[in-house]
Every structure is written in structure tokens, then in C-alpha cells.
Structure 1
Amino acid sequence: MPQKPRPLDETRSVRDWWGKELRNWREVRSLSTRALGKMVHLSGTMIERIEKNERQCDAALVGKLDDALDAGGALIRLWRLVEEDANRQRIDADNSPPAQSTGDFAAESAGMLEVDPLAPLDRSLSPVERRRILAFGGLLAVTPGSFADLVPALDQASLPKVVRPEDIEQVRTASGTLAGWDNLYGSGGIVRSSLIGQLAWAKGLLEVDCPPGLEADLYTAVGRLSIVMGASAFDAYEHNDAASLLQFGRRCAEHADNWHLRAAALNWLARQAIWCGAPDDGLTYAENGLVRADRLTPREQAMLHNATARAWAKMRRPQAALAAIGRSDEVFGLARNGEDAVWMSYYDNAQHHGDTGHAAFDLALMPGQSSAMATSRLQTAIEEHTDAYVRSRALSGTKLATLTMATGDPQEAVAIAHRALDEVGRLRSSRAIDDVKSLAKVSARYARNSEVAALRDRISTTVLV
């Protein structure tokens, strides 16, 4: 009787995590190690050792394994994380001074799926020292230029001697308040200034002694605030800062073993990458978030499937995008009230239709594709978004106006556009402004129509086209 395969520990390193995913794909396809080995001209023993991270693998073999398992590129995209981790370790090794201790600016803290470069030092570092390394190495060392200026140094006298539950609650409250302002007004102004000050204080808490029972809550609260600030920076097109903040939030989530917060961080990283013209990177982030979908709520899964749909749509892969939208709809239908973290409260029926509608928008502009899905979903989002989510409503409205104009109904498009402009004018949102500029371009062919001409004049006074 064959022995049961040895359990794999994906938390040891990125490479171990990839090996477990290889095994998962093999088992999903009902293949033995020997059967898979024959398909890629290796022995079954070699496949088993690759899965256990006992034998090296390379990108060429990863491609063959992905093809053999019909994984749709998932193993290839995840392998990039292995390569990035290996490159980071080589750079760290090259830059490390000989025979010196790691110091305050050591490598990034370990996460649930990352190598822990501090593991050999666990017994010599106090909890405060480890938190300090994450606070400085994980936040400032990632972006040694602008980010150090973005989050100023804090007077240590303003911090408590020991982290208390009320300190963590302050950070939680700040995240909720600032997220609400950002949804109403977009980034910039008091929102931006308040975020910087709040994060500086929250980051300082990582240098303060913290009772073990509060540590996970502390990292979750600080990580959540960093993600809120990263999302705001993304909206303001401060993309380097956004990426650093979102990555720091992700690492805090992983340090706290909080899969729900990690999903939120990866969702924003995916959306930012897609918006910046790197949909393949965005797809990798989204699929990374779905690696252990069983630990996520239906809304969190739907959110990440939406990100994959957007990525596939940007890559002009309509069937893959539609399949992702279908999976998102399926899991969203399983959602129940009260099962999500507070930061997922935004993800209601309106947000679900808006997110899938944005993916369908890109599909609708492809030759031979219908606009019906995008139109219907964007309309639902506009109708159901409350005034608390004016930015989301404005973004969906501008997209719907652009789509309606592009598909040949300028009169209806003008009516939709004016409502969206009523709300865009209240926002500080670079994303909203760019969408309005796209609307202006699409409307150019109807410039002789008096109503469209009036709309274009209004656009020119609302944003600089």
C-alpha cells in the first residue's frame, strides 16, 4: 500500500510554497509523481523532490510543468515570486557588511509565505527588536528615498511606554475614519495630511513594548492603516509610495497571520499594477491572494476574482476574463452578513457590480464583444452606491458614459456623463480625472452635436483635458 505523501510546510519559504502548489495542481489533475514525471521527462522521485524543495527547479522546467498540468500559467506566474525572493536574498547578501550584526535596517520581516531572514536570530532578538526591524526595514528600507520623507520621524515622547488596547483602537478608528473620507473626497487635502500623521504614530507603536496577546492586533491595525494610505496614494497617482505602503501592509498582515487583511493588500496591489499597465503582475498578485481561498470569506474571494478578471481583460483574453467574472458571481452568491472584517463593509452588491462592470467595460471595447454585461453592471453600481461611496459611483458613471458614447448613443451618454461630472467635481482623484479625459476623447467624434459640445465644454472646465 503506497505511503501517504509527507505534508508540505508552505510557510518555510516562497520556494516551499511553490512546491506545495505544484503538488496541489498534480493532485487536482489526479496524476502520480511518476505520471507527471513522464510528461516532462523526469523520474517520479525527481518530481517528489522538487515538490519538497529538495531539488532545484528553473523557469524552463516550470513552464513544462505548467503545460503538463494545464495550469493556465498559474505556476509560471507564481514562480516569479520565487525568483524575486532569490534575487532579493542575493542582493541582501551582496550588500551585507562582513561579520556584522543585522542592525535596525535588516531585511524585511517574514510573512506567512516568505523566508524569514531573521530566523537564526530568533533567540537573540527580543520581541521589541523584531518589531523595530519590521518598522524600519519593512517600511523605510523598501523605499529609501521618498518614503522616508513621506512618513516623518516621531517624537518618542508621544508614544506610550507599553502598547495598550486603547492605542490599537485609536489606529483602528483612524483607518475607518480616513477610509470614509477617502471614499467621499478622494485623496489629497486633509485626507492626505491626516493619513501621514496617523501612520507615523502607528508605525512608532511597532518600536514599543507590546504584550504578546496584543501583538497580532497591533500588526493588523497598523497594516490596515498602511493599506488605507496606500490606496489613497494610488488614487493620487503616487505610485511608488502606494506600492511601498501596500507591501508594508501586506507584511504586517502576514506577521499577524491575518489572511483576510493580506487579501485586501494583494487586491489593491493587483488593482494598482493593472492600472499602471502591468496586468500580468496584477494577475500574479490576485492569484497569490487566492492561494488559500479556503481561509477567505466569499466576498474576499469575489474581490480577488474581480482583480483577475480585470487583468485578463486588459490582456485581451475575453474568455478568461468572463470565466473569472463567473467565479466571482458564484462565490459572491455565498456571502452572508456578519462574516467579514470591518474593512470589507464596502464590498456590497453595488461594489461587486461595479468591479465586474469595470472588467466587462474593457471587454466591451474589443471587436465582436457585447456591451450588455458592462452596461447592466455599471448601471446597477450607480443606482445602488450610497452617498458614502461617491468616488466609486463617479468612476462607474464615467465608465458607463464612455461606453454608451463609444457604442453610438451620444444623447444618453450625455445625461449619464453630467451626473458623473457633478460628483467628479467634488473629488480629489487622479483616477476619476483620467476617466473623464477618456470620455472627452471618445466624445470627440460627436463634437458637432450641440449637447455633446456642451458636455465637452463642461469637461474642459472640470479637468484640464
Structure 2
Amino acid sequence: MSAWWFGALPAVRDLIDNQHSQATMQQPRTAVTMGQIPKELEPTRSVLHFFGAEVRRLRQTLGMSQADLGKLIFVHKDLIRKIEAAERMPAEELVNRCDDALSAGGALRRLWPMLERERRLRLSRDAAGSSVFRSEATDRPVLDWLLASTHDARRYRGDDEIASAAAEKLGQLRGVDHVHGAGHTYPDLAAVLDSDLDTLIARAPAVAAGFLELAGYEAVDLGADGRAQRHYLRALEIVTGVGDRLYGGYLIAVSLAHLALHCGDPDQAARLAAAALRGTEHQITPVVRATFRAVLARAHARRGDEAACAAALLQVEADLARGKPEDEPAWIRYFGEADLADEKAHCFFDLGLHELAQREATQAVTLLEPSRARRLAIDTALHAASLARARQIEHACAVGRRAVDHAAGLASFRSAHRIGLMMAELQPHADLPEVRDLAEYVHTRLPTLVTPHSR
């Protein structure tokens, strides 16, 4: 029996979120349609669809009926039908029971963190909460930034010794994060924020904002979208207060807009990128403008607007060609051809232009520094997913193995998520030998990403 895998987080999740649902099930999103023909699922549409498809596949492989499975896990067969049709969100206990009853070897259990995140994102559309990302929470801080006058910025006392030491620490944490993922660095970063943030805000606000930006980035990497948003907004508040217009634009157009994309709101991402472009038109440099427009291109692609996406990408290329490293702020110098190729690959994947997506993903992986392990894992997995959508299954599995190898040393929710999405693309071909082999490879190659969920 092949074991489908989906990455879970290391125990460091408890640092950022300890609120887990205790309910057995959630109410259905849509009315139930009765009938004898199983509902067609799209495993890549959502984690809930992937979970339902896997439960159905594993159940049918074992020759079980829905009633048989229901008896084994002590629920009605109608609940099994709704789970398999992606009409009901399971709770953790039900996921665990299905994993045991279907001999999934932990494959279903490891989907739980993603299912829980998806549940929270759905709930956030109807109710405010601190544990989830909410698009509307960014509106007032961005307006405050737009209306702020740099002439009225607060004066602050510089302290070179404190700023230098903190900046060095921040650089070290960034380096470890790139290589090992947020699971290794967030505890240290959280300790700095707990003990030193107020001092840094008073003496080195730019460094304080940098710590918060990294904390937000790492919170995303740990699957804590609400915490990431709060970190980013706190950083925006600081730079607004001290009149750092350009870095404020970066937090809006890159950090918060990428988070909006990650949480499924391309409209908000486009609004944020456009606001940052308008608000920095007198201070912006070519490479900074390129990063803002790259996010705008991503938002257009996610909305299916190919023409707008292409126009934005052309502007990004022109901006990069005009940029001079010595004229750019230090915090943007990371963005170059590899990052542009990464942004293009995601755009083309979302637009269904798979030959272009594969070309750009290959380019990104070729140009990336070996130390950027998480980005290598994500881009390689995206390449494999694109190949799977193009029905090049054997090639997709070969590239998928390389993605697993890149992810093997990481404690990263985002990398695990991308590997999971890659496997979801291959789910319709789960009976092919090469897909089964890849599933087993993922299951055995990434043990450090798999930890039992503590109750």
C-alpha cells in the first residue's frame, strides 16, 4: 500500500498557535446533492478536495464501501460520503481514525495541519479572529501610511553599537532561515522580539522593522498566517512613524501582498501593490519598483488576466535592466534574475502556460544560490506540478524527487505545502508505478518534517 504524504510542522508550531479545533466536524459549505454517482473531485482545488480524493481512493483500494468505513470509525456512512465529496471539513480525530482504518501509514494524518489552516481561512471570511489572516485588517494601516507626512516623522536616537549588533544577529537568522526553514529559527527570533523589540524600536527602528518582517516571513513558513499579518503590520507602523516611506511600501507591496496571495485573495494583493507604487512614486528605485510590479503580475495571473500579467512582467524586466546595485537599498539587493524567474514561473503556472512555467522554474533553480534551500524546494516542486498538469508523469516524478531532496533538510511549512500540492497534481495517476514510488520516496525521505501532533 502506497502512503501519500503531506508535510506536517515541527513542534515549534506551538510557539505561534495553540488553538486547535475540538469539534468532530464542521457544517457543510453547500447543500448536499443526493445521487449514486460519486462527485468528481479536483485534488488540487483545495486540501479538503485532496483529502476526500485520497479517502475515496484508499477505501476503494481496500474494497470497502462507505458504510464499511463508517462502521470501522464509528460514524454514519453519510458523513463518509460528505468527506469524500469535500462537503464536510473533518476534525483531527476523524482524520486519525481514517488513517488507521485505511492503513494509510500516516499519509492522511499528515494532512491535518493543512486542513486546519484551510478551515481557519474559511472561517475568517465570516468572523474576525487573531489566528487567521484578514484582508480588511490591512486597510487602515495602509491608509495611515499613505497619509503620513515624512516631515512629521518621529525623531529617534541612533545607537550604532546596538544597531550594528542587532543587524548582525538579524543577518545570521536570515541565513539560517534560508538554509533550514523557519522551524529552526523562529524560536530565536521570537526570543529577540520578546526581550529586545522595545529597545530596538527606540534606538534602531529600521532594524526592529527588519526583525518583524523576518518574523512575518517565518510565520508564513510555519503556517501561521494571522501571526504573520500582525508582524508585518507592526513593522509598517514603525516605519510609518519614522518616515521610512520606501521600506513601508515594501512591507505593503511585497510582504502583505504576498501574504494575501498565499491566503487566496489576489484582489487584495493587487490593491496593496498598486497602493505601494502610488505611495512611493517619488522615492522608489528601479529594483524596488520591479519587486512591487512582480507581485502585481502575480495577482493578475491568479485572477486569470493574462494580458495584464504580461504587461506587468515586461515592466519588471525593464525596471531590473535599469537598476544599479549601488543605488538600491541594501534590503532589496537580493532580488535579481533568479527571483524574477521564480515570479514568472508562478505566474505562468497560474495561467496554465505550462511550457513557460517549466522553463522559468528551471531557470530559477539554475540561478539560485545553493543556500536558498527552501526556494529551491518550492520552485522544483512547482516545476514537477506543472509537468504533472501537462500529463508528463514520468518526468514530473523525476523532478519531484529532486524537490523532495531539496526539502529534506528543511523545517518549513511552505516547502511541505508545495510538496503536498505537487502530490495532489499526481493523485489522479496514483496507480502508476512511478507515482507510487515517488509517494514512498516522499514518505521515507522527509522524516524530519513529520512529527506526531501533540494533543
Q: Which category describes the TM-score, using the shorter chain as reference length?
A: 0.5 to 0.7
2:196 is the counterpart of 1:234:
no
Among candidates 176, 198, 203, match of residue 181 of structure 1: 176
Whole-angstrom distance in 1 between the partners of 2:336 and 2:235: 23
Q: Percent identity?
A: 19
2:268 is the counterpart of 1:273:
no
Among candidates 362, 365, 370, match of residue 382 of structure 1: 365
Matching of residues 312-391 of structure 1 within 5 Å: 312-364=300-352, 370-391=353-374
2:299 is the counterpart of 1:311:
yes
TM-score, normalisation: structure 2: 0.63
Whole-angstrom distance in 2 between the partners of 1:349 and 1:224: 23
CA deviation after TM superposition for structure 1 residue 336, in Å: 1.7
CA deviation after TM superposition for structure 1 residue 163, in Å: 6.0
What is the one-letter code of the residue matched to 1:175? L
Listed one character per residue, the Cα deviations across residues 157-214 of structure 1 (whole Å, up to 9, x for unaligned) are xxxxx8621111122122211111111111123x011101222344221575x5xxxx
Listed one character per residue, the Cα deviations across residues 101-157 of structure 1 (whole Å, up to 9, x for unaligned) are xxxxxxx899652469xx9xx9xxxx7xx98xxxxxxxxxxxxxxxxxxxxxxxxxx
What is the one-letter code of the residue matched to 2:191? G
Over 3 Å counting, the alpha-carbon distance change for 1:115 and 1:270 in structure 2 is same
Stretches of 4+ aligned residues off by more than 3 angstroms: 80-85, 108-112, 460-464
Matching of residues 49-448 of structure 1 within 5 Å: 84-85=139-140, 112-114=145-147, 164-189=159-184, 191-205=185-199, 218-266=204-252, 267-291=254-278, 292-364=280-352, 370-448=353-431
Whole-angstrom distance in 2 between the partners of 1:83 and 1:234: 16
CA deviation after TM superposition for structure 1 residue 326, in Å: 1.8
Whole-angstrom distance in 2 between the partners of 1:109 and 1:396: 31
Deviates further, 289-298 or 262-271: 289-298
CA deviation after TM superposition for structure 1 residue 274, in Å: 0.8
Whole-angstrom distance in 2 between the partners of 1:175 and 1:435: 27
Listed one character per residue, the Cα deviations across residues 350-407 of structure 1 (whole Å, up to 9, x for unaligned) are 111112211221112xxxxx32321211110011111121111111100000001110
Superposed CA RMSD: 2.9
Decide whether the 8 Å contact of 2:219 with 2:225 is kept in 1.
yes
Whole-angstrom distance in 2 between the partners of 1:238 and 1:437: 17
Decide whether the 8 Å contact of 1:174 with 1:198 is kept in 2.
no
Whole-angstrom distance in 1 between the partners of 2:311 and 2:179: 32
Whole-angstrom distance in 2 between the partners of 1:115 and 1:300: 20
- 2:90 corresponds in structure 1 to none
Decide whether the 8 Å contact of 2:163 with 2:200 is kept in 1.
no
Over 3 Å counting, the alpha-carbon distance change for 1:298 and 1:458 in structure 2 is same
Decide whether the 8 Å contact of 1:175 with 1:224 is kept in 2.
yes
What is the one-letter code of the residue matched to 2:179? L
Whole-angstrom distance in 2 between the partners of 1:239 and 1:304: 21
Whole-angstrom distance in 2 between the partners of 1:302 and 1:177: 26
Whole-angstrom distance in 2 between the partners of 1:172 and 1:112: 24
Over 3 Å counting, the alpha-carbon distance change for 1:287 and 1:345 in structure 2 is same
Whole-angstrom distance in 1 between the partners of 2:346 and 2:216: 21
Decide whether the 8 Å contact of 2:216 with 2:229 is kept in 1.
yes
CA deviation after TM superposition for structure 1 residue 270, in Å: 0.3
TM-score, normalisation: structure 1: 0.61
What is the one-letter code of the residue matched to 1:353? A
Over 3 Å counting, the alpha-carbon distance change for 1:207 and 1:110 in structure 2 is farther
Whole-angstrom distance in 1 between the partners of 2:191 and 2:147: 30
Whole-angstrom distance in 2 between the partners of 1:285 and 1:170: 33
Listed one character per residue, the Cα deviations across residues 229-263 of structure 1 (whole Å, up to 9, x for unaligned) are 11111111111111011111122222232233223
Over 3 Å counting, the alpha-carbon distance change for 1:109 and 1:373 in structure 2 is closer
Decide whether the 8 Å contact of 1:405 with 1:442 is kept in 2.
yes
Over 3 Å counting, the alpha-carbon distance change for 1:381 and 1:284 in structure 2 is same
Greater C-alpha radius of gyration: 1
Aligned to 2:182, what secondary structure does the other structure show? coil
Whole-angstrom distance in 2 between the partners of 1:344 and 1:82: 26
Whole-angstrom distance in 2 between the partners of 1:254 and 1:207: 12
Decide whether the 8 Å contact of 2:286 with 2:319 is kept in 1.
yes
Aligned to 1:426, what secondary structure does the other structure show? coil
